[in-house]
Amino acid sequence: MTKLSLSERRKARVRRAIRAAANGRPRLSVHRTNKQIYAQIIDDEKGVTIVAASSLEGDLKGAIKSGANVEAAAAIGKAIAERAVKAGVVEVVFDRGAYLYHGRVKALAEAAREGGLSF
């Protein structure tokens, strides 16, 4: 048995709870680094990414000053919501990973809600 880091344990605990409560809904997964933020909506039953958005994309990169701030996270949240609604996904379950629901993660989630996603 391998020893998991604290963040890996926290991520596994959150993901386990999400899968139990998902009821077939796709998962909005968030990943952040010190310089960028990424979001994707994943269908766990099929193992497929439905839509994705990141602060590295050309059209979004020009609109934001840095990928590591709350404004960038809000822009990514709106972009992922628009793409998801276009793809026919409205109900998702939010996967914050090992990150606290605070700051950039919270800004992304609130912008996604404003954009039309419900979770």
Tens digit of each residue's pLDDT (9 = 90 or more) over 11-61: 999 989 998 888 889 999 999 999 999 999 999 899 999 999 999 998 888
CA distances 73 to 5, 11, 17, 60, 101, Å, are: 26, 20, 24, 11, 13
In this predicted structure, what is the pLDDT of residue 1? 57
Which pLDDT belongs to residue 32?
Answer: 95
CA 67 to chain CA centroid, Å, is 14
Q: Where are the domains of the chain?
A: 6-114
- The answer to whether the pTM exceeds 0.85 is yes
- Asked: is 6-114 a CATH 3.30.420.100 domain? The reply is yes
User: Is residue 98 over pLDDT 80?
Assistant: yes
% of the chain beyond a pLDDT of 90? 75
